[in-house]
Structure 1
């Protein structure tokens, strides 16, 4: 049975240079984001300002959500440490969301609204030092499933995405790293709206109709993803002690990608 009142959910994203927090409260979503070089110094004030503008205190939060990566470890550590501490204090559950799944769900909503043929969604996240985090999701009837698990690859290991039927790419790094990747990757349609890296500082008092918003932060997209997963009965929650970042090790990457790309249409 569903709850009689909407849950108040705080989503936190500390991946990359933009720091974002979004709050789902009484059927509306507030979002706030800012550029930050030291997330640890800015995350608490950002969330305090967000809560103040909505007119709540942290004790009013029912659930927490956080981007668990893959991504830069320093940023991930800040977000997870904050959410873990707050979850302890509030005795509330945490919804861990992987970076690649977030990109894929956002792309799924976009292609559905635009009637773009899509059976596979390939995500790419810059891992630096000439490497990327790569994954592929299968898309069917508005649902997505993990097809190729998150793995770390050298630039020249990224497969020819034309082997994945009706594939689109999700994530701004497909474009920023286009010159370093194989030319075959650039021939696959890219969903530009899925970069989720807008760095404007939104008025915290702005009520956002997220289904029409063009400048959507990753934290806001996390909240929409949570609603979708809850409707599908696929929402996973963990306690504070079980919350951990998604580590992707290089020594399993090649085996994973070789196995999955050898049968690209298996999903």
Structure 2
């Protein structure tokens, strides 16, 4: 199985090739110029592998949540490649990739019997977040959502992952592993997780690994049906209205 994965969800640009269980990645931290960088990186990864686009089984991309602009760039790129080579696409949660990357960078996490809470800064005092099984980071224990830090804690309490009053440094550490810049909000950090990887990022190599499993499950889609998972659709709609006001 050969899958090419692309990501521009956050402040980085990455492309990776999954080839029969082996993954090679090009990763560049860049807040801007994703559009200019992405296709040359795709060509480099394919060139180094010796494969053409048509020899792949599928493409994969971070579906979101994340930066609206970043998601559109990656998804548009993958749609163009998919149409040109008649390939299916596997959409992958950016939060699942974030959780998997944190476990990959911290192998000892896999021995901990506690979930990974991946969180990205959604601005406006909210975070994109998802709760994932540490032994199977692609398996969501709670669905990806956007909430205030206080609402995150309330949701965890309601689902039984955190007991009321467990947050706060004086109350000990919550039985959670934490990954992602969304944990920079002090209100969320009050959960005091057992371990925290604040600078965890989203990598195409993790998207590729997750996509391989999803591909085996038959969860690929056609390029024309690929849609970003913004989670904050009302904000997206307002932005579209400002750009293209109704008549």
- With the shorter chain as reference, the TM-score category is 0.7 to 0.9
- Aligned match of 1:226: 211
Q: Give the number of aligned pairs.
A: 218
Match of 1:258 in 2: none
2:101–2:200 contact (8 Å) kept in structure 1:
no
Q: Given the alignment, which residue of 5, 17, 34 partners 1:39? A: 34
List gaps (5 residues or longer) in structure 1.
1-6, 198-217, 252-267
TM-score by length of 1: 0.70
Partners of 1:58 and 1:150 in 2: how far apart? 31
**Preserved CA contact (<8 Å) 2:121 2:181:** no
Which residue number in structure 1 is paired with residue 153 of structure 2?
A: 159
- Aligned-residue offset at 1:105: 3.6
Q: CA deviation at 1:155?
A: 3.7
Which residue in 2 is equivalent to 1:239? Answer: 222
The answer to whether residue 128 in structure 2 is matched with residue 133 in structure 1 is yes
Which of 33, 46, 59 aligns to 1:64? It is 59
Note the 1:1-267 alignment, pairs <5 A: 7-25=1-19, 28-36=22-30, 37-107=32-102, 113-114=108-109, 116-137=111-132, 139=133, 142=136, 145-159=139-153, 164=161, 166-174=175-183, 177-178=184-185, 180-185=186-191, 187-192=192-197, 195-196=200-201, 218-229=203-214, 234=217, 236-249=219-232
**Corresponding residue for 2:172?**
none
Q: Distance in 1 between matches of 2:233 and 2:76?
A: 25
| CA pair 158-193 structure 1, distance change in 2 beyond 3 A | closer
Over the residues paired in the alignment, what is the CA RMSD in angstroms? 2.9
CA contact (8 A) 1:96 1:243 kept: yes
Contact 2:90 2:214 in 1 (8 A): no
The CA distance in 1 between the partners of 2:138 and 2:103, in whole Å, is: 8
Question: What SS does structure 1 have at the residue aligned with 2:36?
Answer: helix
TM-score relative to the length of structure 2: 0.75
Segments of 5+ residues of structure 2 without an aligned counterpart are 163-174, 235-247
Give the CA deviation at 1:85. Answer: 1.2
